Structure 1
Amino acid sequence: MAARTAYLQELARADAPAYLTLRDPALNGWPERRGPLAAMATDLLRGRTSVLALEPAAPALSQGCTVEVEFWEEDVEGQLVAPRRNRYTQRLPRERATTTTTVHGVDVPTLPLMAAPTVHECTFPVDVVVTWVDGADPEWNAARAERLAGLTGTATTRESSGQARYLSRDELRYAFRSLHLFAPWVRRIHLVTAGQVPSWLDTSHPAITVVDHRAILPPDALPTFNSHAIESALHRVPDLAEHFVYLNDDFLLGRPLGPEAFFSPAGHTAVWFSPNTIGLDHAPDAPPYLKAAFNNRRLLQDAFGAVLTDNLAHAPYAHRRSVLEEIERRFPAEVAATARAPFRSETDLSLLSSFAQHYGLLIGTAYAAQSERAYVNISNSDLEWQLKKALEREQDFLCLADHHDHALDQDRLDRVLGDFLETYFPVAAPWERRG
């Protein structure tokens, strides 16, 4: 606390970025205040509040991007006394020995005890797998039309094979940016594609691996246009970490998250349920994702005697490679049938977006978790309101869900989405090619 005045005077004189603000949080009866760095630092010289926060001005990345500064008092025995509770200690001898540790490439002094991970942290490597296709590729579309010819039933519905299932609005670029901004702990990102590569992606970057469908699916399953089929083989991605997070290309992280948002320290996987139930499984006109949910339920009920009732949220899916390998060994016929369905079919399992999560809950490798999510339906007429709400940055995850019909005309839709994505994720990732 004796250094508080000098610290604030230095802050007031600092040549800091204009976007940086100073916040005096609500503590010990004081109301929260916030303002420009120099002005707020000068104003706070008149008080003795014990905690300050440096952070970007809203709405730019403020969620989780705060540096807090505490001013510790000294007691009569010369010990430093914390102004609020923390995980380690309320009192600290002034001459306590320190060590140096590295945090995100920066060497910092700390107590030896604090240099080791706690039981609350995940210390294992975590990868990300993202699936994507370029729906505008004429060769790919010709193969899709050829594969679809002569098929009937579920495969021919818009929900199974319509163009909207494959339309790219450059969400992938921003999904990758969200990983760079908000999950720097990810070891490697594996992009699984149909032999296609986004023009902006530098595939030589060491954090990026591009995986062709041919590397993970059998020849008689290709070409495939079925996300369920592709999901069934993601555990075969070469050099994939045991723990990985699977993202559709329209899933984005909404604010800084640690690996503990996806896994327990013991490596169990988080499961986020949707508020929507799957209903009863006797609806012949049900959309393909529900038919897959019905199949999931029948198979798991036969195996465990337990009934699943919920859809999963449209959010990243945490997985363990070993659990997926176990599922394939235990249910080989059903997994093989899913892998070989070129479009969504009557017999599909939704292996990575529902089945594996419920299987994990039943065998004890998964747990039900909570998260804040924004599901943005870009077909709706209130899209601009939805996106404005999302810019408040109060969600862990966003899903920009596309549809076959849109309330906004195409030019306006592209402009609105482009402006939103660039505002939310303005920082280019290091694997983006210049220009």
Structure 2
Amino acid sequence: MNTSGIDIVLPWVDGQDKVWQQSFRQYASQSLIGDTHAIRFRDWDLLRYWFRGIEKFMPWVNKIHFVTSGHIPEWLNLDHPQLNWVKHEDFIPGEYLPTFSANTIELNLHRIEALSEHFIYFNDDLYVLNPLKPSRFFKKGLPCDYGVMTAKPSSGGIIHMAINDLDVLDSYFDKHQQIRKYWQKWFSPNYGLKLLSNILLYPWRDFSGFVDPHLPNAFLKSTYDDVWSQATSKLHLTCRSKFRSNSDVNQWLIRYWQLAAGKFHPYNTVKDTTCVDLTDHSLLHICDQIVRQEYDIMCLNDSVEILDFKRAKNTLRRSFKEVFPQKSAFEKY
């Protein structure tokens, strides 16, 4: 496909911004359930290395849509021709604002002006450490995805949302009909031994669950339109909440919809990737993996098991600087 049409969307929160903090505290005090844990918003100061990774290893990207509530890093070069700074009010309907819920932001990405039909959704804890081709994300115009089913989710911090997503999905798709229609995608050898999961779970009446790797996900903007047109009330209810709640659906629903509709290319997206928890015990090993560029994509998940955050942050930054010693064109200084 034409690689000039693949965008990236990256949401970012500056948890240290005083205006944002004041608004957050105001609405959090009114909410029974809120994303209020400090580690969700503390800054490891690694964002510039995210941009360096994209510039060096994914130079074919068309646009990076950088989504924030209104704040930006002081060092960010807004004049870069590939960068589009998008504020929440630029694309999220006013009735949902202000929002502190990632679900609301993620479910409205298709409303970003000039967003390409083909885009990759990143988080700022996902770092590219080796060259990636467009075919890692899209083939024959379709998102590359790991269409592997699992049993019904029974653990995890957002299990309720996953179950809600599956309930919506199963109300619109006949599982057996869709798998028979796209059997080459569901029983692809690209999944390796995980193909057995699809074979064993095929007899189940409904889609029981999917492997959900924490990785950049490729999307078709038109899929968002499809889901909003079919499941309007459920998405509207989720977006009205200022914070995440157990009754929400999330962006996995969009991905699941693409899978169920057969709008994907079977691909082992988990190959050469890893997701690790940052702890005092794991930090040095993680830094070594970064320096050796052991994986193409690394997800660095924050945790409460960091006693000296400042020391850990500086250690991690030194590792990234070994891989990316030169600033990117996305940086003013």
Normalising by structure 2, we get a TM-score of 0.85
More strand by share: 1
| Number of residue pairs matched by the alignment | 300
- 1:138 paired residue among 18, 37, 42: 18
Task: Classify 1:328/1:258 alpha carbon distance in 2 versus 1 (closer, same or farther; 3 Å).
Answer: same
- Alignment match, 2:165: 296
Q: CA deviation at 1:302?
A: 1.6
Distance 1:384 1:256 in 2: 24
8 Å CA contact 2:31, 2:243 repeated in 1 = no
Q: Which amino acid aligns with 1:333?
A: S
Structure 1 position 390, deviation (Å): 3.5
Partner residue, 1:270:
144
Q: 2:46 touches 2:317 (CA, 8 Å); kept in 1?
A: no
| Gap regions ≥5 residues in structure 1 | 1-120
Residue identity matched to 1:361: L
1:412 is matched with which residue: 311, 320, 326? 311
The residue identity in structure 2 corresponding to 1:402 is: D
RMSD (Å) for aligned C-alpha atoms: 2.0
Which position in structure 2 is the counterpart of 1:373?
273
Alpha-carbon distance, 1:369 to partner:
1.7
Paired residues for 1:31-430 under 5 Å: 122-123=2-3, 125-152=5-32, 155-156=33-34, 160-264=35-139, 266-272=140-146, 279-280=153-154, 287=157, 289-305=158-174, 306-351=206-251, 354-370=252-268, 371-403=271-303, 405-430=304-329
CA contact (8 A) 2:128 2:296 kept: yes
> C-alpha deviations, 1:229-252, integer Å up to 9, x for none?
100111111111110111111111
Q: Residues of 1 paired with 2:72 and 2:263: CA distance?
A: 34
1:415 is aligned with what amino acid? Answer: N
Q: Could you say which structure has the larger radius of gyration?
A: 1
- Deviation of 1:373 after TM superposition, in Å, equals 0.7
Distance 1:430 1:276 in 2: 42
Counterpart CA distance in 1 for 2:255 and 2:280 is 30
CA distance in 2, matches of 1:408, 1:422: 23
Does the C-alpha gap of structure 1 residues 123 and 174 become closer, same or farther in structure 2, counting only changes over 3 Å?
A: closer
Deviation at 1:161, TM superposition (A): 2.5
After superposition, the Cα gap between the structure-2 partners of 1:193 and 1:324, relative to the gap in structure 1 and judged at 3 Å, is same
How far 1:272 moved relative to its partner? Answer: 3.9
SS of the residue corresponding to residue 161 of structure 1 reads: coil
1:273 CA displacement: 7.0
Contact 1:357 1:366 in 2 (8 A): no
Matches of 1:177 and 1:388, distance apart in 2? 19
Cα distance between partner residues in 2 of 1:243 and 1:219? 26
Aligned-partner SS, 2:224: helix
Shift of 1:276: 8.2
Amino acid at match of 2:145: V
Structure 1 382/336 Cα, relative in aligned 2: closer, same or farther at 3 Å?
A: same
Q: 1:270 and 1:171 mapped to 2: Cα distance?
A: 27
**Aligned partner of residue 171 in structure 2, secondary structure:** helix
Q: Deviations over 1:312-356 (max 9, x none)?
A: 1111111111111111111111111222211111221122xx222
2:319, 2:213 → 1: CA distance? Answer: 22
CA–CA separation in structure 1 for the residues paired with 2:50 and 2:3: 24
Following TM superposition, by how much is the alpha carbon of 1:291 offset from its aligned partner in structure 2, in angstroms? 1.3
Residue 310 of structure 1 and its aligned partner are, at CA, apart by 2.7
Deviations 1:293-318 (A, max 9, x none): 01011111121143142341111111
Query: After superposition, what is the alpha-carbon deviation per residue over 1:262-303, rounded to whole angstroms, capped at 9, x for unaligned?
Result: 001x211122479986624xx8xx62x221101011111121
Alignment gaps of 5+ in structure 2: 175-205
Instruction: Considering fraction of residues, name the structure with more helix.
Output: 2
Q: Is the 8 A contact 1:122 1:263 kept in 2?
A: no
Contact 1:127–1:189 (8 Å) recurs in 2: yes
The structure-2 alpha-carbon separation of the partners of 1:145 and 1:278, relative to structure 1 and needing over 3 Å to count, comes to farther
**Separation in 1, partners of 2:150, 2:243:** 24
CA distance in 2, matches of 1:373, 1:215: 33
**More relative contact order, 1 or 2 (CA 8 Å, 6+ apart):** 2
Letter in 1 for 2:168: L
